[in-house]
Every structure is written in structure tokens, then in C-alpha cells.
């Protein structure tokens, strides 16, 4: 059954495609992508977005996809820098032997 809400949603989706925004995979290392996502979190809308972000498998919705990518990115950043400063256990074993 078609309701006014469904019709408005369809029109919004159609406008999105007609605006010819380029399809882009969200890149958590891209500051502009993070800025756009922050704006989406504040407004709840992609209307002012410069891109049409693509939801990648296995994610079912775009916000979940972006959230998990951001978590992976920042965890990777945190532990990559810490691992460079700490000596691993294999390095310590080599120096003792």
C-alpha cells in the first residue's frame, strides 16, 4: 500500500539519484568523508552530502557500515602507533639469547 510517507521517501531517493552525486566508498582516513558523516549524525539527512556513499557487503545499512569502518580505522591507528614504541616479546627473546 502506498502512503504519503512512502511517496515522500521515494521522491527523496529519486532526487538523490537525479542530483548526479558520484558514488563513493566511504574512506575513514578521508577527513572530508568523516566531516560529511558527522553532519549526517547531527542532521539525520544526506541531502547536503557531496557524494552518494555505497554500502558494502556484508553491511545492510550505510550508517552501520561507516560506524564499523571508523572503529576499525581508529583502533588500527591506536595500536599501530603503540606497537612501534613497545618491544615485542620475540624481540626481547632474541636479545636475551
User: Per residue in 11-45, pLDDT tens?
Assistant: 777 776 666 788 899 999 999 999 999 999 999 99
Q: Has residue 93 been placed in a domain?
A: no
User: Per residue in 33-91, pLDDT tens?
Assistant: 999 999 999 999 988 888 889 988 888 899 999 999 999 999 998 887 654 445 455 55
Q: Has residue 68 been placed in a domain?
A: yes
Strand partners, 25: 54
Q: Has residue 96 been placed in a domain?
A: no
Q: Has residue 45 been placed in a domain?
A: yes
Q: Has residue 56 been placed in a domain?
A: yes
Can you read off the three cell numbers belonging to residue 72? 576499525
CA–CA distance, 42 with 67 (Å, rounded to integer): 14
Model pTM? Answer: 0.62
Number of structural domains in the chain: 1
- Distance between terminal CA atoms of the chain? 75
Q: Has residue 72 been placed in a domain?
A: yes
Q: Which domain holds residue 27?
A: 19-84
Helix ranges (DSSP H) in 1-97: 4-18, 31-43, 62-85, 89-96
Amino acid at each position: 500500500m502506498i502512503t504519503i510517507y512512502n511517496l515522500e521517501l521515494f521522491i527523496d531517493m529519486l532526487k538523490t539519484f537525479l542530483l548526479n552525486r558520484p558514488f563513493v566508498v566511504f574512506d575513514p582516513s578521508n577527513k572530508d568523508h568523516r566531516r560529511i558523516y558527522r553532519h549526517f549524525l547531527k542532521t539525520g539527512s544526506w541531502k547536503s552530502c557531496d557524494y552518494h556513499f555505497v554500502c558494502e557487503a556484508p553491511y545492510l545499512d550505510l550508517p552501520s557500515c561507516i560506524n564499523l569502518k571508523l572503529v576499525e580505522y581508529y583502533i588500527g591507528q591506536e595500536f599501530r602507533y603503540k606497537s612501534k614504541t613497545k618491544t615485542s616479546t620475540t624481540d626481547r627473546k632474541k636479545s636475551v639469547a
